[in-house]
Structure 1
Amino acid sequence: MNHVARRIGRSLALVLPVVLVLSGTLAVARVPWATAPSDSQALTASADGASTQQTEPRTPQEVLRDRLVAELQEENPGVALTSLQKEMNRKPSLARHCKSIAKALGRAAVEKYGAVHRAQAFARPVCDTAFATGVAQLR
């Protein structure tokens, strides 16, 4: 009996480290180090059942939009639109998002001021008529 237990112990001593190394390698290979996370890739929680919620990194245009909406709430839509124009001049790579940001500012202006005509008074010549479109969408 003692001989059988020793044999099982030796087998585990040889096999267990190999299994641990392979499972660790496979776990690291599943983490999206260089690419954006997709729905098929998931990080698992530890064995005790604890889970952590993963948040997606925010894009520069989302950060800018949120900052400008906050600025609109603190100041007024004219200040936020002027800041949008300055930001478009400073970072031309964000220009393709200018219209969607201006629309969001238009919607936020109507939410803050209520009346469409009052919100429209703050319009600036930035991103064509996107601000006006955002204002008009909440009629």
Structure 2
Amino acid sequence: MKHSTNQQTRRGRGPARRIGRTLALVLPVVLVLSGTLAVTRVNWSGNPANSVLTASDATLSDAKAPAARTPQDVLRDQLLTELQERNPGVALTHLQEAVNGRPSLAKHCVSIARALGRAAVRVYGPTRAQSYARPVCDTSFATGVAAAHS
């Protein structure tokens, strides 16, 4: 007596099984390679000059016009120039007047005063710079002097 054997089960389940096995081997390789390529295109240096633009970024590069400077940046630059030309006391007085005149600058007063303190240490040295300290913006000028000195 002959037993009937199904030829299909002996060879596997046909072309679907072969395609499945191929995908099981090829798909992880493709995913790893595509992930590796994506990571190599990321600008890890933080330097925008080294960044790579893709085709989707081309529209963004046209829209990136030089941004207008914020009022706090303009004020900081003016006060740093004043600190070098005159002295830190005058710059701190003008910082306080600017904050009183434009209350929206109050939230930036601390960072501006610290920047003035660090610049004063570079220009006048730590001892002389500390002599100009006054309670403008919660003594942030003195904090900037101390941070630059240590």
TM-score bin, normalised by smaller chain: 0.5 to 0.7
1:41 aligns with 60
Higher helix share: 2
Q: What are the within-5 Å matches in structure 2 for residues 128-139 of structure 1?
A: 128-139=138-149
Aligned equivalents of 1:133, 1:56: Cα separation in 2: 30
Question: Which residues of structure 1 form unaligned runs of 5+?
Answer: 1-39, 45-52
Between the aligned residues of both structures, percent identity stands at 63
Instruction: Assess if the C-alpha contact under 8 Å between 1:82 and 1:124 holds in 2.
Output: no
Q: Tell me the CA shift for residue 54 of structure 1.
A: 3.8
What is the deviation of 1:118?
1.0
1:72-129, Cα deviation, whole Å (9 max, x unpaired):
0110000000000000110001000000000000011001012x12101001211012
TM-score between the two structures when normalised by the length of structure 1: 0.62
- Report how far residue 56 of structure 1 moved: 2.1
Q: Measure, in 2, the Cα distance between the counterparts of 1:56 and 1:91.
A: 22
Greater C-alpha Rg: 2
Name structure 2 gaps, 5 residues minimum. Answer: 1-58
Q: What residue is the counterpart of 1:63 in the other structure?
A: 74
- Tell me which of 95, 98, 120 is aligned to 1:109: 120
Provide runs of 4+ in structure 1 moved above 3 Å.
none
Q: What is the count of residue pairs matched by the alignment?
A: 92
CA contact (8 A) 1:102 1:127 kept: yes
1:89 to 100, 116, 128: 100
